[in-house]
Amino acid sequence: MCGIIGYIGNKEAGDILIEGLQKLEYRGYDSAGICVADEKSISRTRSVGKVESLKEKFALNKHKGTRGIGHTRWATHGAPLEKNAHPHSDLEEKIYVAHNGVLENYKELKDILQKKGYTFTSDTDTEVIPHLINMYKAEGVNIKEAIIKTVKCLTGAYGLAVIDKDEECLYAVKNGSPLVLGIGDGEMYISSDEIPLIGKVENTVFLSDGDIAEIRASEYQIFDINNFIVEREVNEIQNEAENISKEGFAYFMEKEIFNQPQSIKDSMRGRISKDNNEIIFGGLMDHWGKVQNATSINFIACGTSYHAGMVAAYNFENITRVSSRAEYASEFLYRHPVIDKSGIYVAISQSGETKDLLSAIEYIKKEGGTVMGLVNVVGSSISRITDFGIHIHAGPEIGVASTKAFTSQTLLLSMLAIKLAKDKGTLTKEEYIGIKNEILDIPRKIQKVLSCNDDIKKLAEEHSDKNNTLFLGRGVDYPVALEGALKLKEISYVHAEGYPAAELKHGVIALIDKDMPSIVLATKGTNINKVLGNVEEINARGGEIVMISDEDQDVFSHIPHTRISIPNTHPILTPILSAIPLQLYAYHSVVVRGRNVDQPRNLAKSVTVE
């Protein structure tokens, strides 16, 4: 949430910052701002709305300079107004700060500063930071020491980029919110993630919590809060430039949906040995004993990643016979759970930065639990604080609605489930090989599902006047129903609910009428005859029915419905296929309503606040 960019070098900083913000825009897009400095002056441009309007405004201002910082905002404190857009400055307009995160003690700090005569021009928590730096500088310390003293006052999560008119450098500070340095030849970048750095630099340094980096055009140094130098590993950028372009698709979400045959292949690459059918996860090798003997498997995540965890909980418990459950990270932490020290906690995250999940992981580790990560973004905070883990390798996901991350998470967790079940002897060798062969065939089957795109587009167009939709399923189809509902509501703003099909009769059935379509998942792994009963109940009340079921399923033929078939596969893999028509349905539902597919209102891609 919120994107930060910084540049220092020999090129015009303004254009570079705007380009960087456009790539970070998926992290927040209610307002944006940049601040550019040359040897003599410093100037700021801010604008409400998308980076495009900032770009237009900046073109008129024509500020020149070879260093600067920028920010694209997802509002927490204060409405999306220009006065609340970052960077924020001190009253002398010399020190500017861009902030990602939330300061928990900003009210106390604001009171102290106001009593000292500092006046505030915004409603943000961030504005205390430039004032504090100014205050410490006025006491006679240099900028770096003033930043260190300021950081010591802050409670909460923050990634900061700081620029001072009088200093030929930039500062980056990390505590809880991600920041990465891009190391170029005579130029350096600060960024919230690697994406704006792809094609610009070859090497990056991920900052750790507590790091304060002093960055000049040709060198940087990292300090801790006690001003001692710390060393951080330099990494090579792994992503390719084409991963962050739309490649001819209208939207990133569309590209990411259609990319799934490939992203699934990328996730399984090198993980199934051809010689002996072994499933190999390099990151688990040294910890396999712990996984094998786990007394419980606990999936912790948020949003779509939580739905992947729910699918996994059904599958793991079913085939490994180890007690398995999934829980929202945001709820987990606050119920003060008892940690199973002989169990495994699996933290699932696309971004690797989700704050609720980070806090839950910290809690589990503090209580002596073991955390395995399943994370897409290499080098992200979650991938670094977990005990061991698996990288998802689905490639960058830019569309705010998560699609390919879900299918890859589900695939990898299914692979892990069968590996564990084989080792535990709860799956026979023949069953294991059968599922493994099905896994290898999944990319082809996804391609087949994608060929129903036109039918789904037509359905979404027919439903363009519907304001409510139900998604129903039993067993492993239930988390997929939840995912279908989340996808639809988050991007099209159509009210949608995911429900266990059997719960219908306990209240929800009251909602059924001709204007409330029910999208029912009825795949082989679940009790089809029971689902049939639920579908009959909807039909009897005049509700419209859309069925998503395996291609050889015909028990519903006597009930009027629209049918979307998915290829037959092993039931533990079905969610990978059945989620895709729901992604397409959500996508076309937005397009037909003329709304912003990749940047839905009120949302951001990486949720770095609790």
Which active-site residues does the annotation give? 2, 605
**Residues 574, 581 contacting (CB under 8 angstroms):** no
CB of 487 to ligand F6R, least distance (A): 6
Asked if residue 47 binds ligand F6R (CB under 6 A), the reply is no
CA distance 76 to 103: 10
170-199: contacts with ligand F6R (CB under 6 A): none
Closer CB to ligand F6R, 198 or 401, in the complex: 401
Q: Which x/- pattern over 379-408 shows residues binding ligand F6R (rule: CB under 6 A)?
A: ----------------------xx------
Interhelix angle 477-492/574-593, rounded to 10 degrees, is: 20
Determine how many CB atoms are found less than 10 A away from the CB of residue 131: 25
C-alpha count within 13 angstroms, C-beta hemisphere, residue 115: 5
CB of 352 to ligand F6R, least distance (A): 7
CA distance 344 to 323: 11
CB of 544 to ligand F6R, least distance (A): 25
| Among 84-92, 249-257, 270-278, 347-355, the segment contacting ligand F6R (CB under 6 A) | 347-355
Closer CB to ligand F6R, 1 or 95, in the complex: 1
Closer CB to ligand F6R, 43 or 402, in the complex: 402
| Among 129-137, 281-289, 346-354, 588-596, the segment contacting ligand F6R (CB under 6 A) | 346-354
**Residues 212, 147 contacting (CB under 8 angstroms):** yes
Size of the site for ligand F6R (CB under 6 A): 14
Asked if residue 598 binds ligand F6R (CB under 6 A), the reply is no
Q: What's the sign of the alpha-carbon dihedral 513, 514, 516, 518?
A: positive
Tell me which DSSP letter residue 508 carries.
G
Q: Which of 340, 490, 550, 598 binds ligand F6R (CB under 6 A)?
A: 490
Torsion of CA 141, 144, 145, 147, to 10 degrees: 110
Buried b vs exposed e over 147-165: b needs ≥16 C-beta within 10 Å? bbbbbebbebbbbbbbbbb
Closer CB to ligand F6R, 382 or 522, in the complex: 382
CB of 485 to ligand F6R, least distance (A): 11
Closer CB to ligand F6R, 70 or 303, in the complex: 303
**Residues 543, 501 contacting (CB under 8 angstroms):** no
CB of 186 to ligand F6R, least distance (A): 34
Q: What contacts 212, CB < 8 A, 6 or more positions away?
A: 144, 147, 148, 151, 171, 172, 173, 222, 223, 224, 225
CB of 219 to ligand F6R, least distance (A): 33
Q: Which of 84, 351, 565, 608 binds ligand F6R (CB under 6 A)?
A: 351
CB of 74 to ligand F6R, least distance (A): 12
Closer CB to ligand F6R, 400 or 572, in the complex: 400
CB of 377 to ligand F6R, least distance (A): 8
Q: Which of 354, 518, 526, 578 binds ligand F6R (CB under 6 A)?
A: 354
CA distance 463 to 468: 10
Closer CB to ligand F6R, 84 or 350, in the complex: 350
The strand pair at 545-550 and 518-522 is best described as parallel
Q: Which of 192, 304, 324, 492 binds ligand F6R (CB under 6 A)?
A: 304
Asked if residue 534 binds ligand F6R (CB under 6 A), the reply is no
Closer CB to ligand F6R, 195 or 357, in the complex: 357
The strand pair at 67-73 and 88-89 is best described as unpaired
**Residues 314, 476 contacting (CB under 8 angstroms):** yes
CB of 396 to ligand F6R, least distance (A): 12
| Among 338-346, 348-356, 429-437, 438-446, the segment contacting ligand F6R (CB under 6 A) | 348-356
CB of 52 to ligand F6R, least distance (A): 23
Q: Which of 17, 311, 357, 609 binds ligand F6R (CB under 6 A)?
A: 357
**Residues 130, 113 contacting (CB under 8 angstroms):** no
| Among 94-102, 182-190, 311-319, 351-359, the segment contacting ligand F6R (CB under 6 A) | 351-359
What distances in angstroms separate CA 220 from CA 159, 194, 213, 327, 345, one per listed residue? 17, 18, 7, 41, 37
**Residues 291, 420 contacting (CB under 8 angstroms):** yes
578-597: contacts with ligand F6R (CB under 6 A): none
Q: Which of 350, 410, 526, 539 binds ligand F6R (CB under 6 A)?
A: 350
| Among 224-232, 338-346, 350-358, 387-395, the segment contacting ligand F6R (CB under 6 A) | 350-358
Closer CB to ligand F6R, 84 or 354, in the complex: 354
Largest CA distance in the chain: 83
| Among 11-19, 120-128, 221-229, 299-307, the segment contacting ligand F6R (CB under 6 A) | 299-307
Q: Which residues pair with 173 in a beta bridge?
A: 160, 212
Asked if residue 134 binds ligand F6R (CB under 6 A), the reply is no
What does the block give as tokens for 564? 């979307």
Comparing CA positions, the residue from 338, 333, 328, 327 lying closest to residue 295 is 338
Asked if residue 320 binds ligand F6R (CB under 6 A), the reply is no
CA distance 293 to 344: 9
Q: Strand, helix or coil at 272?
A: strand
Residue nearest ligand F6R, Cβ-based: 303
Q: Strand, helix or coil at 317?
A: helix
Residues lying near ligand F6R in the complex (CB under 6 A) are found at 302-305, 349-351, 354, 357, 401-402, 486, 490, 607
